[in-house]
Structure 1
Amino acid sequence: MTRPHLDPARQTWMQAPETVAVMEALDAARPGGSRFVGGCVRNALLGERVADIDIATQLLPDETIAAAKAAGLKAVPTGKAHGTITVIADGVPFEVTTLRRDVSTDGRRAVVTFTEDWAEDAQRRDFRLNALYADRTGAVTDPTGGLEDVAPRRFVFVGTPENRIREDYLRILRLFRFEAWYGAGDPDPAGLAAAAALKDGLHKLSVERVWAELKKLLAARDPRAALAAMAKAGILDLILGVNGSLRVLGGIVDQDVQYGLAPDSLLRFVALADGGPERIRTMAAKLKMSNAETRRLEGAVDPSAREDVTKAFSDMAAAERAIMALGARAFEDQARLQAAGEVAPPPRDWTLLAKFAREWAEPEFPVKGGDLILLGYEPGPMLGDALDELKAYWIAERFEPSKDELIARLKTH
């Protein structure tokens, strides 16, 4: 059997000057003692884009730092206690981690000791596809059987799934995230069963870690199969309090595919949550989302102009009113969500409404508070109510009434 081999000439990331500089620096300190590992090797074998480059080394952390400095590279001890040094070449960071094995774990973090044994290092990794190593020539080392998982694009835990999950319960979500991004077919049955059985361990994690992982999952091109498996296992309900709406989410994914749009994790989250402002606020607080994220989600479910958003698909006056009430971003989100949730296509494509919202310039309301004071209004709530009522009429009339016409209307009411 021919072992898979990465051709460096076809792997631009291996030949990049920054990569070569880091590997040469490490090899100068210990020839052959450093190899590419994890996602870069996995993605190269799967034919997927390689983004981050991780390197495993037999050098100790202080030796890695010394090797980098000797080559004129910057070394940052980002995780020195766990063996990780970030080596920076021409502004590009590389995580260089000493081979290690776990001494103890508690479901969130591990105490490690360093080793020179590649097989020992592989045994502490999460999935066999992530435990593949490649040297500078492209030769692949496979201590756990990960090469068997390349063709079927499956994610199989290293060793016993239950043991791997108990070491770090975030691996439950990583299983579904990798399936969403790279998997084909159903998840590995043993891994899926272990994830379902041990899902309560997710409570041990910080909600920030959970939300970060869920966002990455939702950013996959089509995460529906992975999310359906999570729902069936009861994991979505544990995280969100509901299993969510895969139908509305599916509509958003279909829009992305049809129009070649980049996946929008926040919009997909709203579709999955399938709830009103109260549910969204509860979920945002539970997952400790940022203020900006929370505002975006709340705008997407703001009920104040829901009727006008619905009418906007056939009535541009309603579209203008909704944009005035919600803002362009929230209006576009609501239009997409409504279109995604409809069984039959709406009468107007949501993309036209989105384009209209982005290009629409809000007219300036011609009446000011001072104008009403001249009419005898006292500053205070009554003046504000009068302005709001007048502005609502002006919006309903497509912004056509002039200042004089609006003042005249106020005098007659």
Structure 2
Amino acid sequence: MSREQALTRLAQADWLDAARPVFDCLDGAMGRTRAVGGIVRDTLLGRPRGSTDIDMATELTPDEVLARGKAAGLGAHPTGVEHGTVTLVHDGRAVEVTTLRRDVETFGRHARVAFGTDWTEDARRRDFTMNALYCGVDGVLFDPLGGLEDCLERRVRFIGDPDARIAEDRLRVYRYFRFAASHGEQRLEEQALAACMRAAGELGALSAERVGSEMMRLLAQPKCAATLAAMVRVGVLAAALFSPQALKALERLEALPLPITADMRLAAMELTGAQVAALRVEWRLSNATMASLGQLTAALELARAANWAELAYRHPERRTQAIALATALDQHAIAWMNEAISTVEGMGSRNFPISGADLLAHGMKPGPEVGAELKRLERLWIESRFELDRDGLLEQVRQP
């Protein structure tokens, strides 16, 4: 992609019109407020975003932002005033506005900062050059650190000294690898990698929630096996978690022509010996994630046993993912996967055609025998590949 194409895409971005009321009330036309970070970076790259939220930077103080937002009829919320951040809401879209900052004292993530008006100084406080790109209300790029070239070259590069950037917030080690996978085509810069290796032994104080959030976002990328291998190599991740066997399985999974999710990678890790249950604490995995992983693992067992009917019946939403995992873990050919998916999808989604009430109406007496008989009939129905209909199942009912 050429520089000209990227800049044209930015100038014509739909979100500029959506954000105009915020720009207008914060002196955007005077260059006092600009969009910054992900929305600018991903627009330049033509990369779809999962969120419609916009980040902005401004010379105005948080109190001024609040007052102006309310006067303009926008929703105005002091979501992080101590850090200089106010959230303005227009037409259901949230815009997080942060006052430009400069360091007064630097001591890690809790550095003392003061509000300022120097855009270049604000840019230097950010993590990567591709995240220090700003855009005015007119769609013109403001690039104080020359990050556009890095962005277009998919080069994830720390701003200034990587060791200094990491010392400000050690979570940036995990962010570096996550961005390398999401925006850097898994290419790792030697200087950055060396800095991450030096910091690897000092990551224990990071909160489990912050680490877990970064790791789950990393595992959700289309490809990340090579990045995970590098994290193991430099000591950021434990080798016991991502063994050579697990990494090979993840590589095979990524080679399949199907979308890969974080849950699928967690399941592959678990089936290759990783203690994923321990990650519930180490990464603060949510109950929803653990429940999803349990469902996927159960579906995978059926896929590995080629029990297509039961897979189609019990896990209609997981069947394709389970077959993909079985393909990668058991090293099946793509043809095997395609045939399995076709077979399972051809069975559709099924509902067991009888209930306990049917058995009672058929003459069974209330009691535990009804539940046991339902399970037996359900098994017959699945084994028949759903050929047995309601009448056929009722003919199979055992009378006490």
**Residue 312 of structure 2 contacts residue 345 of structure 2 at CA under 8 Å; is this kept in 1?**
no
The reply to whether residue 360 of structure 1 matches residue 354 of structure 2 is no
Unmatched 5+ stretches in structure 2: none
Unmatched 5+ stretches in structure 1: 313-317
Could you say what secondary structure the match of 2:70 adopts? Answer: helix
- 124-133 vs 263-272, which deviates more? 263-272
Distance in 1, matches of 2:186 and 2:324, equals 29
Alignment-derived partner of residue 336 in structure 2: 347
Distance in 2, matches of 1:81 and 1:302, equals 46
Alignment-derived partner of residue 196 in structure 2: 195
Alignment coverage as a number of residue pairs: 389
Could you say what secondary structure the match of 1:236 adopts? Answer: coil
The reply to whether residue 23 of structure 1 matches residue 19 of structure 2 is no
Alignment-derived partner of residue 115 in structure 1: 116
Let me know the Cα RMSD of the aligned residues.
Answer: 3.5
> Which of 320, 323, 327 is residue 309 of structure 2 equivalent to?
320
Task: After TM superposition, give the deviation of residue 174 of structure 1 in Å.
Answer: 1.2
Task: After TM superposition, give the deviation of residue 293 of structure 1 in Å.
Answer: 1.3
Distance in 1, matches of 2:194 and 2:44, equals 27
**Residue 328 of structure 1 contacts residue 357 of structure 1 at CA under 8 Å; is this kept in 2?**
no
Alignment-derived partner of residue 315 in structure 1: none
Alignment-derived partner of residue 405 in structure 1: 396
The reply to whether residue 337 of structure 1 matches residue 325 of structure 2 is yes
Q: 1:246 to 1:295 in 2, by over 3 A?
A: same
Distance in 2, matches of 1:117 and 1:40, equals 21
Task: After TM superposition, give the deviation of residue 63 of structure 1 in Å.
Answer: 0.9
Distance in 2, matches of 1:85 and 1:192, equals 35
**Residue 364 of structure 2 contacts residue 370 of structure 2 at CA under 8 Å; is this kept in 1?**
no
- 363-372 vs 344-353, which deviates more? 363-372
Distance in 2, matches of 1:137 and 1:387, equals 67
Task: After TM superposition, give the deviation of residue 100 of structure 1 in Å.
Answer: 0.5
- One-letter amino acid matched to 1:60: T
- One-letter amino acid matched to 2:336: P
Task: After TM superposition, give the deviation of residue 93 of structure 1 in Å.
Answer: 1.1
The reply to whether residue 282 of structure 1 matches residue 282 of structure 2 is no
**Residue 215 of structure 1 contacts residue 265 of structure 1 at CA under 8 Å; is this kept in 2?**
yes
**Residue 7 of structure 1 contacts residue 137 of structure 1 at CA under 8 Å; is this kept in 2?**
no
Q: TM-score, normalised by structure 1?
A: 0.80
Percent identical pairs in the alignment equals 35
Alignment-derived partner of residue 251 in structure 1: 252
- 143-152 vs 179-188, which deviates more? 143-152
| CA deviation map 1:151-174 (0-9, x unaligned) | 422111112111111211211111
Task: After TM superposition, give the deviation of residue 311 of structure 1 in Å.
Answer: 4.2
Q: TM-score, normalised by structure 2?
A: 0.82
Q: 1:370 to 1:203 in 2, by over 3 A?
A: farther
Alignment-derived partner of residue 44 in structure 2: 45
Task: After TM superposition, give the deviation of residue 27 of structure 1 in Å.
Answer: 0.7
**Residue 35 of structure 2 contacts residue 135 of structure 2 at CA under 8 Å; is this kept in 1?**
yes
Distance in 1, matches of 2:352 and 2:395, equals 20
Alignment-derived partner of residue 160 in structure 1: 161
| CA deviation map 1:132-151 (0-9, x unaligned) | 22333444333333234134
Task: After TM superposition, give the deviation of residue 11 of structure 1 in Å.
Answer: 2.5
- 387-396 vs 192-201, which deviates more? 387-396
Residues 95-110 of structure 1: matches in 2 within 5 Å? 95-104=96-105, 107-110=108-111
Residues 192-271 of structure 1: matches in 2 within 5 Å? 192-237=193-238, 240=241, 245-255=246-256, 258-259=257-258, 261=259, 263-271=260-268
Q: 1:283 to 1:8 in 2, by over 3 A?
A: closer
